[in-house]
Structure 1
Amino acid sequence: MNSGYPVNLRLDGKTVVIVGGGKVAERKVTGLLGTGAEIVIVSPDVTDEIQRLHREGKIVWKQKSFFASDIKDAFMIFAATNIREINQLIRISAAPDQLVTIADDPERSNFHVPAHVQRGLLSIAVSTGGASPTLASKIREQLEEQFDDSYEGYLDFLSSKRKWILKEVENASLKRKLLKTIVSSEFLTSDNREDDFIRLYETLLNETGQ
């Protein structure tokens, strides 16, 4: 079996259809919220959480059984029912250029959703290629402990400072030193990164003789 190729997809404005309304479907919905995708659930019955999201206008719920026309305009499709025959019908109904994952048949899926940790701009994905979702989840839990909520603000800091450095700093050596130094434990744990950055910039500026 060939290995998969990891990518981050931009789903803003794309239609994502999830067929099924149970806990598996609910987890898929939760993972898609915030991506900008138009999330459509197709199922006669859904969980209370999916109903709530539908009432709040965050997703579309088509309260019906699956028909091939339900996925005609979908960019990405999740076959997440507990009936194997329906999941296989979804697979064969999809066009060759559509992304389809089947909850109970990873071998015939053309993509897998990795277990992932999200800390603001930081995204860490773990995949076993469908071999063991349980192991992927276990590794994710370990990463959640290692990369805690402090990384969210840290990534915002790194993003803004990288843009400033690339725009304002002309000296190539100074630019490299700044970009390298701000990615350090000192800045991660700092209580005042802005002041620390100013001091770093002034120190390195003097060292380069500018």
Structure 2
Amino acid sequence: MAIKLKLEGKTVIVIGGGQKAYQLMAGFIDKGAIIWVISRDFIGVVQRLGEAGKVALLRTEIKDAEAFVDSLNPKPYVLLAATDDSSLNLELAKAAKRYGSLVYAIDNPSLRDFALSSEV
């Protein structure tokens, strides 16, 4: 069963700026969502999306997932945890779920609230 989310005006937070993060966020671009990509580094294509105004980039390192998610305002409608740190992805996903966010953790299928079309 395929489900389409109405993303117009909704906040999508992508944690991670590498190839996997880009592959995840690609399906959300041009859907009317407000997309923030948060990472200590960004691959070229993600950097260019930021420069083109398709996504907002925030270069930072997240040390405390719970405090980070608590600080987000508004809370994300969708949070994509796509870092190279499995424990950080786990903590981000758990913290976002407490606020009712839909979560996709790249390395933990049991925490995912949805599948992407390439996985169905």
Instruction: Give the TM-score normalised by the residue count of structure 2.
Output: 0.85
Distance of 2:111 and 2:74 partners within structure 1: 19
For the Cα contact (< 8 Å) 2:20–2:82, is it kept in 1? yes
Q: Deviations over 1:18-37 (max 9, x none)?
A: 00011011112221111011
Give yes or no for the alignment of 1:26 onto 2:29: no
Query: Which one has a larger percent helix, Structure 1 or Structure 2?
Result: 1
Aligned runs of 1:15-94 on 2, under 5 Å?
15-66=11-62, 67-68=68-69, 69-70=71-72, 73-94=75-96
Percent identity over paired residues: 29
SS where residue 110 of structure 1 aligns?
Answer: coil
- List structure 1 runs of 4+ shifted beyond 3 angstroms: none
Consecutive unaligned residues of structure 2, counting only runs of 5 or more, are: 63-67
Q: Which structure's residues are more often strand, by fraction?
A: 2
Matched residues, number: 113
SS for the counterpart of 2:6 is coil
Change (3 A) 1:114 1:21: same
Opposite residue 102 of structure 1, the aligned amino acid is A
Kindly indicate whether structure 1 or structure 2 has the higher relative contact order, using CA contacts under 8 Å at least 6 residues apart.
2
CA 1:81–1:55 in structure 2 vs 1: closer, same or farther (change >3 Å)? Answer: same
**Which residue of structure 1 lines up, in the alignment, with residue 65 of structure 2?**
none
Q: Which runs of 5+ in 1 are unaligned?
A: 116-125, 128-210
- Residues 90 and 77 from structure 1, CA distance in 2 versus in 1: closer, same or farther, beyond 3 angstroms? same
8 A contact 1:41–1:61 mirrored in 2: yes
TM-score, with length taken from structure 1: 0.50
